[in-house]
Amino acid sequence: MNPLKTVNGTLIAGFVLMLIIGASVGGFAFDWNQFVRWLHIIAGVTWIGLLYYFNFVQVAALGAAASDEGGPGGAAITKYVAPLALNWFRWAALVTWLSGAAYLGKNFVPTFTLGMSEGSSYYTILGLGAWMGTIMLFNVWVLIWPNQKKLLGMVPATDEEKAKAKSIAFMASRTNTLLSLPMLMCMTGAVHGLPF
């Protein structure tokens, strides 16, 4: 059986390959902090990747489908693609935030207080990124997901409620896209230095 024929098979094969490489290079010592960091990165890539898909691909595709007279319309996207993508999107957001908080451990408070008591630019930069990520998580679960459920027909909504929901979800998603750039800069910049 070819593992690449299913998502689960692909993920399992990727995990096995990861273990083989890790064991070959670093031995079999398990490091909880490094595992949580790895989980944070994988979940974050999934979350931000889907955020960019929604903003750069799906919104444009739905607009084109709506203006294509006689075309297939956007029903396939809204019925099959969007619900699945939103499922991965919101859970990846939560796992990203939780694994990031777990990885911070004893550094959680200095990070979220922007290093004010430590006088450390490391905590200030990392904290700015952590706060932007927290705002983005809030937007996903409190603004985007409840309003998308109305748009996708998962919960009943009038046409007026759908119009309002569309605006709220769109603006929250665009806000997250805007915040993702400085957030990523802060998250990597705290350790590797800011690019400017």
Q: How many domains does the chain have?
A: 2
From CA 135, how far away is CA 144, in angstroms rounded? 12
pLDDT at 193 over 90: no
Q: What own/partner pairs with CB < 8 Å and gap ≥ 24 does 97-104 have? A: 97/133, 97/134, 97/137, 99/36, 99/37, 99/39, 99/40, 99/43, 100/40, 100/44, 100/130, 100/133, 102/36, 103/33, 103/36, 103/37, 103/40, 104/130
Same-domain check for residues 85 and 8: no
pLDDT at 26 over 80: no
Ranking 105-114, 139-148, 172-181, 184-193 by mean pLDDT, the lowest is: 184-193
pLDDT at 24 over 90: no
Please state the φ and ψ torsions of residue 120, each to the nearest 5 degrees: -115, 125
From CA 131, how far away is CA 21, in angstroms rounded? 34
pLDDT at 60 over 80: yes
pLDDT tens digits, residue range 28-37? Answer: 677 888 889 9
From CA 140, how far away is CA 159, in angstroms rounded? 22
The rounded radius of gyration (Å) of the Cα atoms in the chain is 20
Same-domain check for residues 50 and 61: yes
Task: Provide the residue range defining the domain that includes 6.
Answer: 1-30
pLDDT of residue 29: 75
Same-domain check for residues 14 and 71: no
pLDDT tens digits, residue range 149-170? Answer: 999 999 999 999 999 999 999 9
Same-domain check for residues 96 and 35: yes
Same-domain check for residues 69 and 97: yes
Tokens linked to 196: 């400017």
Q: How far is CA 138 from CA 71, 83, 104, 126, 194, in A?
A: 36, 19, 19, 18, 26
- Kindly report the average pLDDT of the chain as a whole number: 93
The H-or-E segment that residue 88 falls in is helix 82-104
| CB-based contact 83:102 (threshold 8 Å) | no
Same-domain check for residues 117 and 153: yes
